[in-house]
Copies of this chain bind each other. A is one copy, B any other.
Amino acid sequence: MARIETTTTDRLSRERILEAASGIVEQDGLESLSMRRLAQELDVWPMSVYRYFRDKAELVDAIVDRATAEIGKSEGAGGPWKERLRSLLGETRSTLAEQPPEFRARFAAPELSPAAVRVTEAGLGALRDAGFSREAAASGWRGLLAYTIGFASLKEGDGEGFDHGLGLLLDGLEQERAAGS
């Protein structure tokens, strides 16, 4: 049996840094994330992290992207449009609800988050497929996204009541489309 070199700490990498950083945020909140504590948890010099991330802001950006990376990945183009939107926004709500408020705020400025861009494209696609004009789709999506982000912010309850209000919005949009307004 050859002696095995057990370097308990693997080589540093963006992925390993992000994993540790996400763990800190999940456990103790964003305000507990410091470059120094992160480095300590990785058993690395504080400055080593700066090889992989320009500064703390870039690191936080990457954490948010990672936390929201799965949203909207599984959405196909098939099925009734209301079901597609229910599924897309339900997934968005439940994922955002787990994140700190600062993370949710990024979804409201879609250009800052790849996931927000993807979700918006999927949502607009569903509305366009359903026959909404470009303007109606954009306006409708704005309301649906606002409702979803807001509900994710509500501290009390899980997603209770989310589907109900979402149904009101979707039915209302459907009625408007039928009326051709």
Contact = CB atoms under 8 A, between A and B. Distances in A.
A64 interface: no
A172 interface: yes
B164 A143 contact: yes
Interface string A87-114: 0000000000000011011011100000
A109 B150 CA distance: 12
Nearest to A166: B143
Nearest to A140: B165
A157 to B, nearest CB: 8
A1 to B, nearest CB: 55
Interface residues of A, number: 34
A145 interface: yes
A143 B148 CA distance: 10
A23 B98 CA distance: 32
A150 B146 contact: yes
Contacts of A139: 161, 164
B143 A147 contact: yes
Contacts of A108: 150, 153-155
Nearest to A168: B172
A17 interface: no
A173 to B, nearest CB: 7
Contacts of A165: 140, 142-144, 146-147, 169
Interface of A: 101-102, 104-105, 107-109, 139-140, 142-151, 153-157, 161, 164-165, 167-169, 171-173, 176
What 3 A-B pairs are tightest by C-beta distance, nearest first? A150-B150, A143-B165, A168-B172
18 contacts: A101-B102, A101-B105, A105-B153, A109-B155, A139-B161, A139-B164, A142-B154, A142-B161, A146-B150, A146-B153, A146-B154, A149-B150, A150-B150, A153-B153, A165-B169, A168-B172, A169-B169, A169-B172
